[in-house]
Chain A
Amino acid sequence: PMCDTIASGIWNQRAGFIELHNKPDFNKINYSIVESLRGTKDSVYFRIILPKDDALDYKNFVFNLIPYSKYDQVLKINKPEFAIPNVRIPRINFGLSLQNIEPNVDFGKGNFQRTNFMIFENYQAKDNNANFFTITLNNFNQCFYEAMDMEGQIIGIEGKKLVWRGNRYEKIN
């Protein structure tokens, strides 16, 4: 793996245990949207750009475009560049989420990493003429999307050792 950080967050010591919490920005995806013109006006085009300095593979993600219109049906698209008829999104008002469809989970085991990510809701085009939206996700790298959800995790204190998820950890310095 490219990322050596499995999880990070905030800790608090209690009587006999440690309580863990995610950092406040755990779910915060930094993005930018560039509006422009492209092709014919009867379609609306989208391009989603994920960070490239990473082991990231676009094939592992499904993009969910949420048009706010009378059709209002979430479109699930398995590629980062796509077009939809503008009749489905006449006021160019949309949300975007994505799903990681390849988490590291063994058969019969649970999953501590998130699989669904809300990028934004209810974006309204600034330019009424724009029909091409390039959406760049800046911090959505492997460390971000594979991070374990630590909210409410409890680590037991047993003498000088810690006990977490059935494993023991020994102090080394």
Chain B
Amino acid sequence: GIEGKYQKENGKELLIFNADKTFYCLRN
């Protein structure tokens, strides 16, 4: 599935997709 953490190629951002359908975009 899509759930999990993804890091932007330049490493400055994280996308987090949780199983409860919430997502977060964080400064890394």
Interface on A for B, CB 8 Å cutoff?
1, 4-13, 18, 20, 23, 148, 155, 157, 161-162, 164, 167-173
Taking a contact as CB atoms under 8 Å apart, the answer to whether B23 and A6 are in contact is no
Once A157-B2, A164-B15, A169-B15 are accepted as A-B contacts, the answer to whether A8 and B23 lie under 8 Å apart by CB is: yes
A4 to B1, CA, bound (A): 26
Give the distance to chain A from B9, nearest Cβ to Cβ, in Å. Answer: 5
Once A11-B21, A162-B15 are accepted as A-B contacts, the answer to whether A6 and B5 lie under 8 Å apart by CB is: no
Interface size class of B (residues with CB under 8 A): 10 to 19
Sample (28) of A-B pairs whose CB atoms are under 8 Å apart: A4-B26, A4-B27, A6-B13, A7-B24, A7-B25, A8-B24, A8-B25, A10-B23, A11-B21, A11-B22, A11-B23, A13-B1, A18-B17, A161-B6, A162-B6, A164-B15, A167-B9, A167-B13, A169-B7, A169-B8, A169-B9, A169-B13, A169-B15, A170-B6, A170-B7, A170-B9, A171-B6, A172-B6
